[in-house]
Amino acid sequence: MSLTTWEVTLDLDGSGSYATDITAYVWRFDSLRISGRGRRADLGAASPATLTLSLDNSDGRFSPKNTGGAYYNTFHPYAGIRVRATYNAITYDLFKGIITGIGVKPHINDALVYVTAADFMWALERTSVRLPLMENHHPGVIIDRLLDHAEIGEHVDNPIFKDDLTGYSVLGTGTNTRVTTGIVLEAPAALESVTTAVTSGWRYTIPHSADSEFQSVKVQASCYVWTPLPADEGETFTIRLGDSVGVIATATVTLTSQPQRVTVSGTFNGAATDFYIDGYMTSAAATFRTGAIHCVFSKSAIPRDIDNGNTNLSYYGPHLVNRAHRRDAQRAIVGQVSIAVIYITGDSGLGENTVDRSRPERCSRAGHVAVDVEVRR
């Protein structure tokens, strides 16, 4: 008979690796409780998941102010925590989130620490996000941009080319132009790159006050790309992290006529003095557009599993909702054939899907929250 084994780990360095195993310090696994996962109805609202557990603190390692503790200055609120269970040789992520509270009970014969944590939905619902106008894009792309804006600590000063191309240079051979007609991701502009050779496109140099800000630091960078030319659909685009020492990491995507998000993560070298995000063609010279570029420290990145969706949303932007007409507005939204929802995935990351209300059997059973943009009068 298979037995379930548990694992509780911490992400104390913000790398996303959850390398610090504290399973042996969990005081009675019946003290570990996870609540709030999922939703009670297919189209019901989901609340953030929460975690509570007790830890053996007999050696003081979990006391945040203990300068001699094993985790001093790293075990604190907002540190990452993950709970996994393995059954029948299959490992399941049950919870992934951040610590929200640490309560130390310093009794000699009963030295415990009480930990509370919440998943990333908790962080998201406490974030105010305002996006520029987005038209005729898949809901998954729009939700990805919402989550980008919810991540704290943007390192790209000119992410959507609002006024110019400050910070960008030509990589390889070709031209980079700020365009305002045709498909753009977020109003009013996009960056169009016309390349004449492979490994050509754009380079963004990450601004910084001191080299130490990024030396030996893990980051996650992403961009949204597509091609305006049917002849270039199917060609391969690459996003690359690099620094003055060398290449850090790459990721690729096959170009289509619609914006797609491509993401790369890696750790900059400890001796680097310049830090780059590159976007370029891999398979052939081509014309491609970039709608947005985004970069944060990996510890600030929100785990997600977003599908582009099956339909385009004709409009996303601020709208006025008078309090007296809020219910009518909600009814109008519910009456639409397709709506986009955000939901909690099995590992407490964020996902998205498009629900076709005319076919209930296609509705996701995962929890979701509505994306509400409101200007109150």
pLDDT confidence of residue 16: 80
Picking from 193, 188, 267, the residue whose alpha carbon sits closest to that of residue 223 is: 193
Per-residue pLDDT tens over the stretch 147-188? 999 888 999 999 999 999 999 999 999 999 999 999 999 989
The band of 1, judged by pLDDT with boundaries at 50, 70 and 90, is low
236-253 residue pLDDT tens: 999 999 999 999 999 999
**Stretch 326-342: mean pLDDT, rounded?**
38
What does residue 208 show for φ and ψ, rounded to 5 degrees? Answer: -160, 150
Domains defined along the chain, listed by start: 5-124 (2.40.30), 152-301 (2.60.120.260), 304-377 (no CATH)
Average pLDDT over residues 293-299: 94
Nearest Cα to Cα of residue 93 among 308, 302, 303: 303
The pLDDT value given to residue 109: 66
Over 60: is that where the pLDDT of 315 sits?
no
Q: Which of 83, 107, 76 is nearest to 14 (CA)?
A: 76
Q: Pick from 343, 260, 266, 265: which is nearest to 304 by CA?
A: 343
Handedness of CA 284, 183, 223, 207 (dihedral sign): positive
Torsion sign across C-alpha atoms 291, 143, 237, 245: positive
What are the two backbone dihedrals, phi and then psi, of residue 94, each rounded to the nearest 5 degrees? -95, -30
pLDDT computed for residue 303 by the predictor: 81
pLDDT band (50, 70, 90) for residue 312? low
Q: Give CA–CA dist 127/142, Å, rounded.
A: 16
- Please give the pLDDT value at position 324: 41
pTM of the shown model:
0.73
Query: Is 355 in contact with 341 (CB distance < 8 Å)?
Result: yes
The upper half-sphere exposure of residue 359, i.e. CA atoms within 13 Å in the direction of its Cβ, equals 7
In the block, which residue shows the tokens 């991540």? 151
Q: What is the pLDDT of residues 22-73, one digit of tens each?
A: 999 999 888 899 988 777 677 777 778 999 999 999 999 999 999 999 999 9
Which has more confidence, 8 or 46? 8
**pLDDT by residue (tens digit) across 273-285?**
999 999 999 999 9
Q: Which two tokens stand for residue 239?
A: 């996003």
pLDDT computed for residue 337 by the predictor? 34
Model pLDDT for residues 101-157, shown as the tens digit of each residue: 999 987 766 689 999 999 988 878 777 777 788 888 888 899 899 899 988 899 999
Q: Which residue has the tokens 């007790």?
A: 54
